[in-house]
Structure 1
Amino acid sequence: MTKTSIATPEEPNRRKRTRTTKPKLRDGVMKRGSTWSYVIRVKDPETGVSKPRWMGGFPTEDEAKAARDEARVKARRGEYIDRNEITVAEYLDQWLESHAMEIKPGTLEDYRKGIRLYVNPYIGGLKVQAVRPSAITKLYRDLLKGGGRKGKPLAVSTVVHTHAILRRAFRDAVVVDQLIDNSPVERAKRPRVHMAEPGTVWTPAQLRAFLAVARRHRLFAFFHVAAYTGARRGELLNLRWADVDLDGKQITITGSAGVVEGERLEGTTKSGRKRIVSIDDETVTVLREHHTAQSADKLAAGEAWRGDKNGHVFATAWGKPIYPDTVTALPRKLINAHNDPKDGKPLAEPLPYARLHDLRHIHATTLLLAGVPVHVVAARLGHGDPAITLRVYAHVIRSAETAAADVFAKAIKAA
C-alpha cells in the first residue's frame, strides 16, 4: 500500500516564492545576498579560450555595472587582471600608482621603500584575498626578529610604520577597490611602541652659545628662526619673502621642501594646512638684516642671480633654493667650531651634539616649561591635534606638573 502525499495549500505558494526570488543574471550583473556581482568573459592569452571571471562585493547595482564596464574595456585591450588572483605585490604597486597624486612626494618615496624592503620579500607573493591576520602578524614578528640589514632585528618604530602603510593600502582594497570584504591588517597583532622622548635639548645658555657661533655663517638667520619659531626644516626652506610680515611680526608657513631620490621637491606642509607663527622683535631684526644681506648677494651676482622678487627667504648666494641636506649637516660643523675654537681662547663649556630638528624640540620644551598652554605650543609647531604635543613632550609636562602644587599654594596665599 503506497502512501499518497497530500500537499498543503501553502506548499505550492512556497515553491512559487522560491522560484520568483531566485537571483537573475542581467547583462553580466546579478545580486548575491546583500551585494552585487558582475561576470565578464576574458580570453586566456596562452590558450585563446575565453573563461568567465566573477567579481563581487559591490554595495549597489550601479557600482557593479561601472566596474563591469571598466573590466570589459580592459579585457578588450588585453589589460585585464583577475582581481581574484592579484598578489599583494601587484596590488601595492597599483595602489601606489593610483594614489601618487594624493600622497606627498616624500611620503610616496617612503612608502615605496617600505614596501620594497619590508613587505614584498615576505608576503608579496600571497594573493590579496588569501591574506589572513595571522600572515600579517607573522610578518611583524619576522621583521622584529631579522628584518633589518644583514638579518639584524628591525626597529619597533619601523615595523609600526610598515603597519601604517599596510593599514592604509588594505583599507583602500576594501573601500575603494573592493577586492576584499574586510582588512586583515585591522585584526593583526602589531607591536606596541612607546613615543620616544626628543633628543638633545639644550639649555637656553647652550642655545645662545650655538647661535653665537652660527652668527658667523651666512645662514645664521635660518638657525635663529628655526629655534625661535619651532618650524620644521622643510617649512623654512619653502618660506618666501611674501610669507614674511615683519611689520605684523609674523610668518606664514604655507608649504614644505624635501628630497625625493636626490631631487629637491616642494609640496604642502605635513598637516596639509598653512599656519601663522608670531615672531619676536629680535627675530624681526635678524630677518631684516638677512634681507639686506640677500640684497647684497643679488647685487653682487648680477645677471647670474636665480631668485625673484618673492624668492626664497633662505637661498644660496645666487638666489637658488637651498638643498635640504645642506642645513642638516651644518649644526655638527658649527658645534665643532664652538668646541674647538681656533683663536686659542679657553672653552667655558662644550656644546653637546644636537640635530637640526632638536632646535624644534628646544622651542617646544622652553615654552612648555614656561607655562605656555599645550594647545598654543601645538599651534606653533603645526600639530593637528594637541594630543600629539602631549605625547611627544609628556616628560616635559610631567616635570612642570611637579611644581603645580607649589604654584597653586603660592597663588592662594598671595591673593
Structure 2
Amino acid sequence: MAPRKTPSKPKQRGEILPLPSGSLKVRVYAGKDPITGRKNFLTETIPHTHPELQKEAERVRTRFLNQVDEQRNPRTNATVDALLDEYLGKINVDKSTRIGYEGKIRNHIRPLIGHLKLSKLDAHAIDTFYATLRACRAHCGGKGNFIEHRTKRQHVCNEKCKKHVCRGLDVSTIRQIHSILGGALKRAVKWDWLRINPLNQAETPPTPTPNPHPPEPEEAAAVVSAAFRDFAWGTFVWLTMVTGARRGEMCALRWDLLDLDRAVLQIKTSIGQEGKETWEKDTKTHQQRRIALDAETIALLRAYRQQCEDKAAEFAQKLKRDGRIFSNSIDHSTYWKPDTVSQRFSRLCEKLEIDTDLHSLRHYSATELISAGVDPRTVAGRLGHGGGGATTLRVYSAWVSEADQRAAGNLRGRMPTMPVSIDVDGSATSTMEPEIRGPYQQIAADLRGAIVCGALKPGDNIPTVVELCQRYNVAAGTANRAVAELKADGLVTASRGKRAVVAPLSESSFANVVSLKNRRANK
C-alpha cells in the first residue's frame, strides 16, 4: 500500500524580508509592468523602530494582497514625468494650447511631483501639491526669504532685484493644471498603467468666479480720443471696442473679409504668438462668424482704407486683396503682432492713469450690448462664444447702473408673490410654508421650486418615480405621494402609463397655488 502523501501547505504570497538595519521590507508581486515588461512589485519598508514591527509588516502585506486581488494596484513603476512625456506625445491640440500645457508642466508640475512614482501619487500628494501652488508660485511654501534677481546672469543688483514676496497662483491657473493632470491620469487608466485615477479622490480646485472689469464709458471715451492721435491705431482700438473681437482675431483681419457695402466683417482666423514666434490659426472656439457694423464704423473704415491706398500709391504699390487690415507693410502683406498691440494699449492706459487692458474692451462691448437690450445669444454670436449665451452672461456682462435700474423695474412684474405680508403699521408677517417634515414634502418642495423659478417649464417632464427614488433614497410610495401633491396643486398633470409633465400655469392659477399653500400653512 502506497504511503499517503501529506498535503503541502499553500505557498504564501508576498515576502517579508529582513534588512541589515533590522527593518523589514514587504514585497508583493503585482504582475508585469506594461511599459518595461519587467516584473512589478509593491514594496514598503517598515523601520526597525516601529513598536509592532512584525505585525505591521503583516498588515502591509495583507493590504498589498488586497490591492492586487481587487485590481487597485498601480501596474507600473513609471513616474509622473514619464506619464507626462507620453501624454504630450499623444494629445491632439492646437499649437497655442500645447505651448500653454508645456509651460505649466515645466514650471509647476515637473518640479513638484514629476519625480513621484504613479504608485505614490495619491489624494494626499495631490492636495499637498495644490496647497503649495496656492501658497506661492515660486514653490517656497510661503516661507521664502530670498532675492528675486532680474536675470540669472552675473550682474550688479539694482532696484529691479527685489526681495521675494509670496504670491500664490490664480485659481484659474490651478484649475488649468488640474485639467492637465486629469487628462494625463485619465489616459494612464485607459492605458492600464493605473487601476484607479487618484485625482478622483483629491479635492477639486474651485471654479474661479468671473469678475470682469470693463472700462467706464468716460474711460473708454478717453482711451479712444488718445488712440486716434495715430489714425491706424485709433481705428484698431475703435473696431476692437465695437466688435468685441479677441486681439489675435483683430490682428488676423483681412481686407477681403470686410464688405463695406453690406457693412459686414467676417472673422475666420486668429494670430497666435509665443515669444517672437507668430502663426495663423483657428479662432479660440474654432468658429467663423460674421459681424454687422454700424454706419459710423463703416464710414471710419472707408476713410482708413482710402488712407492706406493713398500711402501705398506713394510707393507705386497697391494693397493686396487679401492683405491684413492692420499692417506695417505698405501693401499690408504682414500683420500686427498680438503682444505688440497689448503692450501698446497698456502704455496708452498707463499714461491716461486708467486701470484697464486690451481684453477689457471685449468686456466693454458685451456689457454695453446687453445693457442696450440686445439678447445674450446675439451678443454671444458677435463675441464668438458657444453655449447659447451662457458664457456671455456669466463672464462678460458687468453691472451697468442704468440697465440695472431698468432690470429692477421689469423684474418686479415677473417675480412670484412675495412670501411676506406687510401690515398697515409696517410690520411684516411671514406667509411661508411650515417646516418640511416628511420626505415626500421635501421632494414636492424641490420640484415646486424648480417649476416656480422656471428651471422646469410647462410641457417639461418631471423626473420619473424611479429617478426620484434613487435621488432621494425613498420608496416608490413616497415619490408617488410627492407627485400627487404637485398634481393637487395644479402644477403637474399625470395619468396612468404616462410621465408627469409640468402643467401650463397662468397668473390666476399661480395665485391659486399660492393661496392653497397659505391655507395649508395656517392649518
TM-score, length-scaled by structure 1: 0.69
Deviation at 1:400, TM superposition (A): 4.1
Distance 1:409 1:384, change over 3 A: closer
Match of 1:94 in 2: 86
Match of 1:32 in 2: none
Q: Tell me, yes or no, if the aligned pair for 1:129 and 1:179 is still in contact at 8 Å.
A: no
CA RMSD of aligned residues (A): 3.1
* Distance in 2, Cα, partners of 1:268 & 1:165: 22
Match of 1:314 in 2: 326
Deviation at 1:331, TM superposition (A): 2.2
Q: Tell me, yes or no, if the aligned pair for 1:390 and 1:397 is still in contact at 8 Å.
A: no
Structure 1 SS opposite 2:253: coil
Match of 2:225 in 1: 212
* Distance in 2, Cα, partners of 1:87 & 1:410: 61
Q: Tell me, yes or no, if the aligned pair for 1:195 and 1:391 is still in contact at 8 Å.
A: no
Structure 1 SS opposite 2:194: coil
Q: Report the count of equivalent residues.
A: 322
* Distance in 1, Cα, partners of 2:295 & 2:258: 14
Q: Deviations over 1:60-117 (max 9, x none)?
A: xxxxxxxxxxxxxxxxxxxxxx982322112212322332xx3222221111110111
* Distance in 2, Cα, partners of 1:184 & 1:248: 56
Match of 1:247 in 2: 261
Deviation at 1:260, TM superposition (A): 1.6
TM-score, length-scaled by structure 2: 0.56
Amino acid at match of 1:262: K
Match of 1:221 in 2: 235
User: Superposed, which structure 2 residues align to 1:138-287 within 5 Å?
Assistant: 138-148=128-138, 151=144, 152-155=166-169, 156-175=171-190, 177-203=191-217, 205-217=218-230, 218-287=232-301
Amino acid at match of 1:322: W
Amino acid at match of 2:375: P
* Distance in 2, Cα, partners of 1:249 & 1:237: 19
Amino acid at match of 2:328: T
Match of 2:368 in 1: 366
Deviation at 1:395, TM superposition (A): 4.8
Distance 1:293 1:145, change over 3 A: same
Amino acid at match of 2:357: R
Deviation at 1:209, TM superposition (A): 3.1
* Distance in 2, Cα, partners of 1:83 & 1:182: 10
Amino acid at match of 1:314: F
Amino acid at match of 1:90: A
Unaligned runs of 5+ in 2: 1-30, 41-73, 145-165, 415-523
Match of 1:119 in 2: 109
Structure 2 SS opposite 1:251: strand
Distance 1:370 1:316, change over 3 A: same
Distance 1:147 1:266, change over 3 A: same
Deviation at 1:164, TM superposition (A): 1.8
* Distance in 2, Cα, partners of 1:40 & 1:140: 29
Matched, 1:396 2:408: no
Amino acid at match of 1:121: P
* Distance in 1, Cα, partners of 2:188 & 2:79: 12
Q: Tell me, yes or no, if the aligned pair for 2:32 and 2:38 is still in contact at 8 Å.
A: no
Greater Rg by CA = 2
Q: Deviations over 1:234-286 (max 9, x none)?
A: 01111112221222211121111121232112211111111221111111122
Q: Tell me, yes or no, if the aligned pair for 2:366 and 2:397 is still in contact at 8 Å.
A: no
Amino acid at match of 1:173: A
Match of 1:84 in 2: 76
User: Superposed, which structure 2 residues align to 1:314-393 within 5 Å?
Assistant: 314-318=326-330, 319=332, 320-335=334-349, 339=352, 352-385=354-387, 386-393=389-396
Structure 2 SS opposite 1:258: strand
Structure 1 SS opposite 2:249: helix
Unaligned runs of 5+ in 1: 1-36, 43-50, 55-81, 340-350
Deviation at 1:134, TM superposition (A): 2.5
* Distance in 1, Cα, partners of 2:134 & 2:287: 35
Higher relative CO (CA 8 A, sep ≥ 6), structure 1 or 2?
1
Deviation at 1:233, TM superposition (A): 0.3
Q: Tell me, yes or no, if the aligned pair for 1:40 and 1:53 is still in contact at 8 Å.
A: no
Distance 1:120 1:408, change over 3 A: closer
Q: Tell me, yes or no, if the aligned pair for 1:255 and 1:268 is still in contact at 8 Å.
A: yes
* Distance in 2, Cα, partners of 1:187 & 1:153: 27
Q: Tell me, yes or no, if the aligned pair for 2:130 and 2:174 is still in contact at 8 Å.
A: yes
